[in-house]
Each structure stands twice: as C-alpha cells, then as structure tokens.
Amino acid sequence: MLKARETLGIGAGASSGGSALALVPTMGALHEGHRSLIRLARERAAHVAVSIFVNPLQFGPAEDFSRYPRTFDADVEICEAEGVSVVFAPSAEDMYLPDRQVGVSAGGMGSVVEGEFRPGHLDGVLTVVLKLFNLVQPDVAVFGQKDAQQLAVIRRMVADLNLPVSIVGGPTVREPDGLALSSRNRYLSPEDRVTALALSRALTAGSARRAPAEIRRTALAVLEAEPSLALDYLVLVDPATFAEVGDDHAGEAILAVAARVGSTRLIDNVTLAAG
C-alpha cells in the first residue's frame, strides 16, 4: 500500500515547516466541525490528509454502525474545497485482518464516563487511531474537543506509547442555537432537535456557576426539565484523566453530558473554570 507520505513525496523524518503532514481522522458525513479541523490542520502543516473510515471496532453490537451516515462523494468534494491533499478511505477488510488479535487498551480511562456506557468504545478508537498514525505517518493529528474523552485518551496514548505525533484539539463548532454539530444530528426529527438543545443549554447554565456542586446541580436541573430526554450521564471531570472532580476542586474542569433523544445518542461538553 502506498503511504500518504510517499504519495505526497514527503521523505521520512520530515517533521516541520514546508513538508509537514497533518492528519484529520473522521468517520465521514463531513460537516462544518470537520471543516474547522481541516482548516486548523492546514495552519499546522503544508499537507493535510483526511481519513474517512467508519470503524466497526468502536461500535457496540446494539449501536448504529450499519445505519451510520455514509456520504463519500460529498465528503470528497468538501475535502477538495478545503485544500486537502489526500483522502484515505480504506475498507474494513483493508484495515483489519480477519484473525486480528492485538489492539490498544485505553486502560482505566476507557471504562469511566463514556466508557461506562460504551464498553470497548475507547479501545476501538485508540486501536484505529494508532493504525491510522502508522499508515499515514502524520507529524500532526487534529481532533475535536467535541469528543473530549476521546481527545484525552489519544493524548494519553501518545504520551504512554511515545508516539511521534503532535496532537492538536479544535473547539466544538455549534449551530447558532447552540446545538453541537454532529453527523448524527441528521437522525433528529424537528421535535427531537428542539429537545436536543437542552444539552448545550445545560452546559451553558452550568458554566455560569463556580462551585462544582452548583455547576452539576444547575446543569442537571435543565436536563431534568426535558421529559423526552433520556440522560446517560452528566459529569464534571478532570480534563486529563476524566476522573470526577471533588466538590473542593478549583481550576479547569470539563462538564460533559450524554443523552438519548428518540433513538439518537448525543454527547456534548464544555471546559470551564471551577472553584
């Protein structure tokens, strides 16, 4: 298989300036959030590769792998318009040997918060991200803060496994009314979409408070006022470890929420200053 670096004529060891390569991993169905990451990548590197791969390893058996939106032609058009040099869109057979044995474990960080509701999800994410790093060999990789725990475990993997890739986090892009952009938003009916606004509303309300207990209480009240929303979790966590912070915590924290609206599961988060 020709590596992205070879396609672009980038020699091994090129790591900065005019020849650097940035990777933006995605599952396709690209939207403004992905575009913002591509633009960040372009600021960091001369060449940008976008991967499009709906990774079966990160979906649970009862999750939406088979109905996940696949819009490849539109995605390629977006990549072209954004000046992307390489689109890497492997098949599942290209990526995984049928008798695959070895993967990456997210350790304890993989079983809390999102990991409690999606067992194995973060292991699946890390396994595919490491494989993408090995295949594309980027100098820089850009991920969204929208998936804050994913970003935190990827940073942890890079540190724990000494991976030669700089990780850049991009801010969450939202609709004007606050809804975080997501490929899954297209599943929402007009009524669901109104219900879904409670997530960002709760995070905004929580961010206006300082004491951890008040932050949690304020955000929870907004979510509980929305009867058609099924809450998975609302947590206030340490941004690096995703461990819940205590009531005496002072400093940066992430207020993260996951909830189901109809048959769609949505996540959102905000970084705030507690204490």
Q: In the complex, what is the shortest distance from the CB of residue 116 to ligand AMP, in angstroms, rounded to a whole number?
A: 19
Residue number with CB closer to ligand AMP (85 or 183): 183
Tokens (6 digits) for 30: 């690209």
268 binds ligand AMP (CB under 6 A): no
DSSP 8-state class, residue 239: T
Q: Which stretch binds ligand AMP (CB under 6 A): 80-88, 103-111, 113-121, 173-181?
A: 173-181
- Tell me how far apart the terminal alpha carbons of the chain are, to the nearest angstrom: 52
Residue 31 annotated in active site: no
Report the distance separating Cα 268 and Cα 174, nearest Å: 10
143 binds ligand AMP (CB under 6 A): yes
Distance of CA 99 to the CA centre of its chain: 28
Distance of CA 29 to the CA centre of its chain: 14
40 binds ligand AMP (CB under 6 A): no
118 binds ligand AMP (CB under 6 A): no
Yes or no: say if 141 and 168 are a contact pair by the CB < 8 Å rule. yes
Instruction: Pick the catalytic residue from 34, 47, 121, 249.
Output: 34
Q: Which residue in 7, 47, 56, 54 sits closest to 23, CA to CA? A: 47
144 binds ligand AMP (CB under 6 A): yes
Yes or no: say if 126 and 153 are a contact pair by the CB < 8 Å rule. yes
Report the distance separating Cα 249 and Cα 245, nearest Å: 6
Q: In the complex, what is the shortest distance from the CB of residue 226 to ligand AMP, in angstroms, rounded to a whole number?
A: 21
36 binds ligand AMP (CB under 6 A): yes
Q: In the complex, what is the shortest distance from the CB of residue 33 to ligand AMP, in angstroms, rounded to a whole number?
A: 2
Q: Tell me which residues are annotated as active site.
A: 34
Binding site for ligand AMP (CB under 6 A): 26-27, 33-34, 36-37, 143-144, 146-147, 170, 172-173, 180-183
